[in-house]
């Protein structure tokens, strides 16, 4: 790791101000992605601004039809939250499937979304549920937030403060774990909104990161049942291929995980 200067921010405003002072600043949340990357010397920020201790960044709020999770809330806290388990059980389940206990106790939803790893779990829920990413400057709808591999709509120095999820009528998440990293080899989140719309997002599958899956959405709109996907084929083109999963295998997983997510949603 190269030398860096650590700052613990006391508030959201303080964090943004500290960030602006550094020549090449980075926000630090759970550190589960940033610190390994710094250790490998693939990142060398001049300053790291720790946002994980800011009171306004931690906590879960359910009001009416919206679940709001503040950005520095850990995966563990989301998984354990009775409020989330009740309002959007699929979201609590998703959080419980991230990595291992050590990662879940440190890693945060804001860090995960800012990082936008193509195999991360949260992006699938954010996109399928049509959530809104809140920053210190604005509210960004899920559609506009994810911009491809490790790329988001966030501007330099812009900080995620919370994510708001509309409570769906039904939702389910199914994930085939990467055998080594435990990220999603492919994960599919299916949601039926209270207005009756169907939204499906897959992570770990596409070369351009999290994606909506139109063929599955159409089939489920016609018939919300796992069997409705029996005749769906997912094209392998544009899908990721690596030593743990070829593109056609991932195409199969999009469908199979889609079916299992529908079964889980009920």
Our CB check for another protein shows the closer of 159 and 251 to be 251
Cα distances (angstroms) measured from residue 230 to each of 18, 186, 188, 199, 260: 53, 18, 16, 18, 12
How many distinct helices (H) and strands (E) make up the chain?
11, 12
Residues 192-251 that bind another protein (CB under 8 A): 242-246, 249
Query: Closer CB to another protein, residue 15 or residue 34?
Result: 34
Contact at 8 Å (CB) between 213 and 195? no
CA pseudo-torsion sign 259, 147, 209, 142? negative
User: How many residues form the binding site for another protein (CB under 8 A)?
Assistant: 16
The answer for residues whose C-beta is within 8 angstroms of residue 64's C-beta and 6 or more apart is: none
Q: Is 123 helix (H, G, I), strand (E, B) or coil?
A: helix
Minimal distance in Å, beta carbon 242 to another protein?
A: 8
233: number of CA atoms within 13 Å, CB side?
Answer: 4
Q: Which does 32 bind (CB under 5 to 8 A by kind): ligand FAD, another protein, none?
A: ligand FAD
Q: Which of residues 149-208 bind ligand FAD (CB under 6 A)?
A: 154, 159-160, 181-183
- Out of ligand FAD, another protein, none, which partner does residue 70 contact, by CB within 5 to 8 A per kind? none
Residues forming contacts to ligand FAD in the complex (CB under 6 A) are 26-34, 36, 51, 71, 98-99, 103, 106-108, 110-112, 114-115, 117, 120-122, 154, 159-160, 181-183
Residues forming contacts to another protein in the complex (CB under 8 A) are 176, 179-181, 185, 242-246, 249, 252-253, 256, 259-260
């Amino acid at each position: 790791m190269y030398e860096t200067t650590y700052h613990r921010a006391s508030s959201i405003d303080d964090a943004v101000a500290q960030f602006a002072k550094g020549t090449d600043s980075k926000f630090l949340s759970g550190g589960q992605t940033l610190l390994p990357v710094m250790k490998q010397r693939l990142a060398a920020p001049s300053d790291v601004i720790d946002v994980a201790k800011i009171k306004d960044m931690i906590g879960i709020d359910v009001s009416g039809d919206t679940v709001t999770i503040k950005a520095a809330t850990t995966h563990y806290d989301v998984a354990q939250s009775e409020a989330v388990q009740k309002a959007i059980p699929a979201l609590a389940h998703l959080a419980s499937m991230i990595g291992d206990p050590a990662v879940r106790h440190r890693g945060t939803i804001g860090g995960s979304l800012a990082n936008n790893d193509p195999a991360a779990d949260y992006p699938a829920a954010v996109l399928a549920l049509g959530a809104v990413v809140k920053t210190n400057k604005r509210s960004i709808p899920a559609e506009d937030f994810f911009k491809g591999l490790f790329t988001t709509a966030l501007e330099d120095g812009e900080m995620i403060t919370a994510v708001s999820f509309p409570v769906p009528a039904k939702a389910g998440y199914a994930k085939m774990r990467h055998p080594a990293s435990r990220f999603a080899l492919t994960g599919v989140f299916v949601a039926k909104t209270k207005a009756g719309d169907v939204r499906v997002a897959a992570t770990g599958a596409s070369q351009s990161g999290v994606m909506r899956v139109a063929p599955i959405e159409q089939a489920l709109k016609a018939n919300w049942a796992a069997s409705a996907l029996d005749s769906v084929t997912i094209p392998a083109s544009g899908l990721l291929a690596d030593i743990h999963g070829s593109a056609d295998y991932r195409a199969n997983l999009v469908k199979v995980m889609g079916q299992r997510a529908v079964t889980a949603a009920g």
